[in-house]
Amino acid sequence: MKIKYLYKLLIVAFVAIQLVACSNNSDTEEKFEEGPTARTNAQSKKLDDLLLSSEYGWKAVYFTDNTQLGGYTHLFKFSPGGKVTMASDFDSDAKKYDSQYEIQLGSTVSVVFTTANRIHLLSDSDSYPIDDLKGQGYLGDFQFLFYGEDKGDIVFRTNRKFQELRFVKATAADWTNLPQNTIMEQNVIGANTRPLFRFLETSDGTTVRQFDFNFDVITRFATADPIATGFSESYNIGIGYSPTGIVVSPAIVIKEQALSEFVYNDADGSFTATGTNGVSATIKYSNKPLVLTDDYKILLKGQPITGFGYIASNLGNTSGNSLLCKTLLNEINASLPAAQKVNRIEFTFNDGGDSYIAYSFTGGKATLYHNVDVIEDAANKTLILKHISWQTATALVAEPVLLKKIDQELTNPKGLYIKRESFKLGGAPNAIYTFTSSSSSFRLATYAFQ
């Protein structure tokens, strides 16, 4: 009997243990399920509290892709109830606009700008700066994943490329001075009174190096290639504007010092970032290219026939044309009847021994030809186009007043720098050749036809 009793007791004990174990597992699972939810809710509240905590809101300089695009300053002022007031320097419109935002839960907590505002200009696939980004826009996001707080900044990662983006506390001056970013953009482009050529000069406190500097206003992107032979380092940087200068990304690193903030000097048009122990980087103007090419030689007498053409529909707005060039073209178009515009400016060299510039127009206006003699200035590596005569297709004519200013730039006695560029323009496969004045800020971009 005792054995049977003990056996029954063991069975009861075993069942009791199983019941307790099931109960404990149930509690554990419930706690496990509640844990992540509680933590997510806490993070959600933390982010919302942070967004609302800054008196003047937050500022972010958003480089959507610093391998091909520059940075865009955005200001955000968050209010209870999911309202956000926003402004940006995407274009000249620096006004404030209201919209809505939400804190959303997913794989992590994120802030999402749910109704259209300035930040959406960077994510609109129908608005793109260059043909290579057609259908992709400016590669921007309007959802940012929350990754915590660091020294007063809110740290996010972008939803699209998972790159870090920091919101720093804005000031009243940030809102007031935002329109000055557009003014600074014009300083980066450079006035007609400035030289056309630029270089980046770096110093590590001992060694000074120079790089040929080129800036594209459409993409806010710059390249700087070394001038010295045997030195291969170059810089490709996105540029953002500020009231006092520019911000670059990635930073220019010299002797382990990262230089990203450049201050503008209106006296000479330079931008300088200063480190310690003699480390610095400065973007400066030059009166001539730092690297002179022999690209002009294929245009000289005795060479095979060559042709180059500016086509307004493809190259009218390209950064390959200088501001002075665009200004002169606009002046010509403004003086013509509405249906007539400059259509093409074509250069033909060694056509049966003849060379000429042809100006053609829309609206039925006859093409005008300027016959020129081609002279080499070997010492300065320039090409001089010397006047011979003007004509239509059938007869000689006097110099057209309409074309005088732009033609004087192309036939200036100090000559033109001719350069085969490394980039393509207007979606065409043709090589790009630029015709640049050696005595002014005039530059015209053309397609090579051979």
Label residue 3 by pLDDT band (50, 70, 90).
Answer: very low
Tens-place pLDDT, residues 239-266: 999 999 999 999 999 999 999 999 999 9
Q: What's the confidence (pLDDT) of residue 424?
A: 81
Q: Is 230 buried (19+), middle (13-18) or exposed (0-12) by CB count in 10 A?
A: exposed
Which domains can be identified in the chain, with CATH numbers?
58-177 (2.40.128), 182-286 (2.40.128), 295-448 (no CATH)
Here the tokens at position 387 are 């006047």
| CA end-to-end distance (rounded Å), the chain | 112
pTM, two decimal places: 0.78
CA distance 234 to 237: 10
Peptide bond into 289 cis (omega under 30): no
- What's the pLDDT at 180? 97
What does the pLDDT read at residue 35? Answer: 65
Q: Kindly tell me the burial class for residue 416, based on how many C-beta atoms sit within 10 Å of its own C-beta (0-12, 13-18, 19 or more).
A: buried
- Rounded to whole angstroms, the Cα distance separating 364 from 206 reads 62
Q: pLDDT tens digits for 106-136?
A: 889 999 999 999 999 999 999 999 888 999 9
Q: What is the pLDDT of residue 29?
A: 46
DSSP state of 15: H
Instruction: Give CA–CA dist 383/302, Å, rounded.
Output: 14
Contacts of 234 (CB under 8 A, 6+ apart): 211, 223, 224, 225, 226
Q: How confident is the model at residue 15 (pLDDT cuts 50, 70, 90)?
A: very low
Residue 10 token pair? 């063991």
Check residues 233 and 204 and name the one with the higher pLDDT: 204
In eight-state DSSP terms, residue 286 is E
